[in-house]
Amino acid sequence: MTDAIKIDVWSDIACPWCYIGKKNLEKGLAEVASDEDAPLVEVTYHSYELSPDTPVDFEGDEGDYLVQHKGISREQALEMADRVTDVAREAGLDYHFDILKHTNTVKAHELVHFAKEMGMQDAMKERLLSAHFVEGRHVGRVDDLVELAVEVGLDADATRDALVSEKYVEAVRADEDQARAYGINGVPFFVIDGKYGISGAQPPAAFSQIARQVWAEHKEEAAAV
């Protein structure tokens, strides 16, 4: 049997390009899923904090955040948000930066690791990104995260225990250490089979192309055994 392609994705809940990249990856993989010899693919999400110094309750809106963290004018910040909103719309996403609540994302990353252990990583990642960018929900406080976890089918008490105990902080740090080892300094970043890297929210065709290429390599390797 041919081994599945492993796609490891480094991203942050607070990264608008990461949600766009996730959607484009899914569209690209959906395209190859209809191939006569469709690739087997396993996608795993890994933690990356773009702004670990952000407080849990950031005082200000998107413009304030970008001014503080990127050193640009408020006008430039709002223009940047508008551009990202347009690109997100092309990916089928309806961003609302006017209601977005900036927060520290380490707890959200812990939750994604807990969900992975429960076999629900993708659903939890999707829920967090949608809550943050589309619905303006808070994704940094334990109570809010437990509510979102319950919405995807996770147990409330088990989720709260996982977050309060900080059981998955070590897993978050391990992901970030691996990102540094790979030389990743921006997200989203996709690592295919541990040997190919794709940086940024590439179009769906880029992902379908690499999936077909790597699947052909897997078939050749299997035939040579």
At residue 125, the pLDDT reads 98
Q: How confident is the model at residue 224 (pLDDT cuts 50, 70, 90)?
A: confident
pLDDT above 70 as % of the chain: 100
pTM for this entry:
0.96
Q: Provide the token pair at 186.
A: 């921006």
- Per-residue pLDDT for 225 more than 90? no
What string of H, E and C letters represents the secondary structure of 19-86?
HHHHHHHHHHHHHHCCCCCCCCEEEEEEECCCCCCCCCCCCCCHHHHHHHHHCCCHHHHHHHHHHHHH
**Kind and range of the H or E run holding 208:** helix 204-224
Mean pLDDT (whole number) for 160-178? 98
Angle ∠(214,218,223) on CA atoms, nearest 5: 145
- Per-residue pLDDT for 24 more than 80? yes
- Per-residue pLDDT for 1 more than 80? no
Q: Report pLDDT digits (tens) over 52-71.
A: 999 999 999 999 999 998 89
Q: Report pLDDT digits (tens) over 81-118.
A: 999 999 999 999 999 999 999 999 999 999 999 999 99
Mean pLDDT (whole number) for 38-52? 97
Mean pLDDT of the chain: 96
Report the phi/psi class of residue 60: left, alpha or beta, with left for phi > 0 and alpha for psi in -120 to 50: left
